Structure 1
């Protein structure tokens, strides 16, 4: 059986800031319907790698491909239009509008109808229906008429996901989705990501530090250290590797293990 080509791939992706190489020739592929956790110690290059994929940063060298199309020189908006969505980077909510209107504006933008803050939702039936569908998917339908500024922090995070989903991306990118959340709010977001993962047409990339989150969600782990990809594969196997224990967990290799350069 011929293997389906990856939805997203980076080839020798590199970025330099002066003499510092923040991401160093990272080649990695992401298959449809999988959730990949990108892990590593602070300063490993995880968020920088995310920024290169989503277009917030321009690569010094290497390539980014989406569905075999070279998107390396496209900006964030064009990559979003091609199917890359990213949450939890910059808050892009309209705090004075309702939850439903926030989502409807994104649906409207996706439909190329332009923004009209003063139009009635029921004057665009199909847009309103799409917005309602998205709100139901992220479990915010019962709060559709609330002003965003009145939402709890966890629900604002859910709304950010709703707005990303409204763009109909193929690739969903989450940068530390549980950061700054209370103990009670974390399971809500994890359940939401788990539900998104159940749709096997979506490809999910997740930067996360919490190992229990990674173990519960990830199909695969990619480990970065000093901007270099040092390991990738099944979460259980990867986390046992000496290079991961040393680089990510800060543990010394087991007695008798081979020294690594």
Structure 2
């Protein structure tokens, strides 16, 4: 692990709902140039941990630090301003605006163009050009003038990635980015995530159930189970570990030991 200061860190991050601890004292640091996949069975606490990091939920205990600054007390919008970018399982867009208008507003927000936000965003051709470049990047340029409400789900997911790219965050957080997409749409998103990773100056976090995606993209895998961090390391090592086989694939350590004995018998 790099000795430099992590871009993002959680320390003892915890949340409970009633008597149920959904995330239990999770501590983890993330350095630039690394793509980390967060995996685990349904109900493991992956999306809840994401919500704690991005500010959608308020922690019961623990801290979130961004570039060494404690941002635990900040809401989601303030965290986004400081460089946390988040794409959701469910799209988070302006449905009655066009795809271009959505991205242009994100570009305008990134460059803080002033208080007369809507008018300025529509009049500045440089903002429009930048927005179109992001739409082109996610293969949506031909649908720039479509209302978001009328776009297929896969296109809405691609548009959400374009919005996040336009905001130029230091941390990219993807929560099942290919969920609900057709087979031919998936490579567009995965290629975009791979491009962000190749940049080497960003942190990329990916919650994903598809292990082929996890294997192909990850530098590191973090495993949550019952709200606790149970494994953290290089993909091959983590995927092969008994605790992950049990938590994620449903096999018990005893079953795995038996299989190994048979295979070596």
User: Same fold, TM exceeding 0.5?
Assistant: yes
Alpha-carbon distance in structure 2 between the residues aligned to 1:116 and 1:78? 18
Which runs of 5 or more structure 1 residues have no equivalent in the other structure?
none
Alpha-carbon distance in structure 1 between the residues aligned to 2:98 and 2:143? 9
Alpha-carbon distance in structure 2 between the residues aligned to 1:95 and 1:214? 31
Which runs of 5 or more structure 2 residues have no equivalent in the other structure?
260-265
Deviation at 1:37, TM superposition (A): 0.3
Specify the alignment match of 2:257 in structure 1: 255
Specify the alignment match of 1:10 in structure 2: 10
The 4+ residue runs of structure 1 with deviation greater than 6 A are none
Specify the alignment match of 2:226 in structure 1: 226
Give the alignment of 1:237-256 within 5 angstroms. 237-253=237-253, 254-255=256-257
Specify the alignment match of 2:198 in structure 1: 198
More helix by percentage? 2
Alpha-carbon distance in structure 2 between the residues aligned to 1:29 and 1:241? 21
Alpha-carbon distance in structure 2 between the residues aligned to 1:115 and 1:57? 31
Deviation at 1:237, TM superposition (A): 0.7
Q: 1:152 to 1:256 in 2, by over 3 A?
A: closer
Specify the alignment match of 1:157 in structure 2: 157
**Partners of 2:138 and 2:188 within 8 A in 1:** no
**Partners of 1:109 and 1:115 within 8 A in 2:** no
TM-score, structure 1 as length reference: 0.90
Q: Matched residue pairs, number?
A: 255
TM-score, structure 2 as length reference: 0.89
Greater Cα offset, 89-98 or 178-187: 89-98
Specify the alignment match of 2:33 in structure 1: 33
Alpha-carbon distance in structure 1 between the residues aligned to 2:203 and 2:101? 27
**Partners of 2:37 and 2:222 within 8 A in 1:** yes
Greater Cα offset, 35-44 or 148-157: 148-157
Deviation at 1:255, TM superposition (A): 2.5
Q: Deviations over 1:47-103 (max 9, x none)?
A: 110010000111111111000000011000000000001112442323333222111
Specify the alignment match of 1:210 in structure 2: 210
Alpha-carbon distance in structure 2 between the residues aligned to 1:116 and 1:13? 36
User: What SS does structure 1 have at the residue aligned with 2:52?
Assistant: helix
Deviation at 1:120, TM superposition (A): 7.1
Specify the alignment match of 2:137 in structure 1: 137
Alpha-carbon distance in structure 1 between the residues aligned to 2:245 and 2:86? 29
Alpha-carbon distance in structure 2 between the residues aligned to 1:256 and 1:141? 54
User: What SS does structure 1 have at the residue aligned with 2:191?
Assistant: helix
Alpha-carbon distance in structure 2 between the residues aligned to 1:62 and 1:100? 39
